[in-house]
Amino acid sequence: ETGVTQSPTHLIKTRGQQVTLRCSSQSGHNTVSWYQQALGQGPQFIFQYYREEENGRGNFPPRFSGLQFPNYSSELNVNALELDDSALYLCASSSSWRGEQFFGPGTRLTVL
């Protein structure tokens, strides 16, 4: 069974740029959630995708957007990057009939 994978591992961008992060869900899972984890903090929910539709959103502005593909992999897009967007971005997948969330290793984004 393949776990949750994310790419890239690290990324450096400058303020105002756009970034796309990718996530492949665990085999058999059809739900993907994205979280932002600032240094020394707990993860904060950004949004969730279920069957290619957004299924819940946290307190993040519209410049954070996402997609889910028919194979249940997902992308997180962030436009007009700000310095405060520097964080570890985590993807978690789950099967819709079970509650357990399984996280990937994350993408470390640095905005200069």
Partner 1 sequence: GENVEQHPSTLSVQEGDSAVIKCTYSDSASNYFPWYKQELGKGPQLIIDIRSNVGEKKDQRIAVTLNKTAKHFSLHITETQPEDSAVYFCAATPLGGSQGNLIFGKGTKLSVKP
* Contacts by 64-73, CB closer than 8 A, 24 or more apart: 66/34, 68/32, 72/25, 72/29, 72/30, 72/31, 72/32, 73/22, 73/23, 73/24, 73/25, 73/32
Residue 100 interacts with partner 1 (CB under 8 A)?
yes
**How many residues sit close enough to partner 1 to count as binding (CB under 8 A)?**
26
Name which of 16 and 30 has its Cβ closer to partner 1: 30
For the bound state, the minimum distance from the C-beta of residue 107 to partner 1, rounded and expressed in Å, comes to 10
Residue 60 interacts with partner 1 (CB under 8 A)?
no
Name which of 69 and 102 has its Cβ closer to partner 1: 102
- Which positions lie near partner 1, rule CB under 8 A? 4, 31, 33, 35, 40-45, 48, 50, 55-56, 58, 90, 92, 94, 99-106
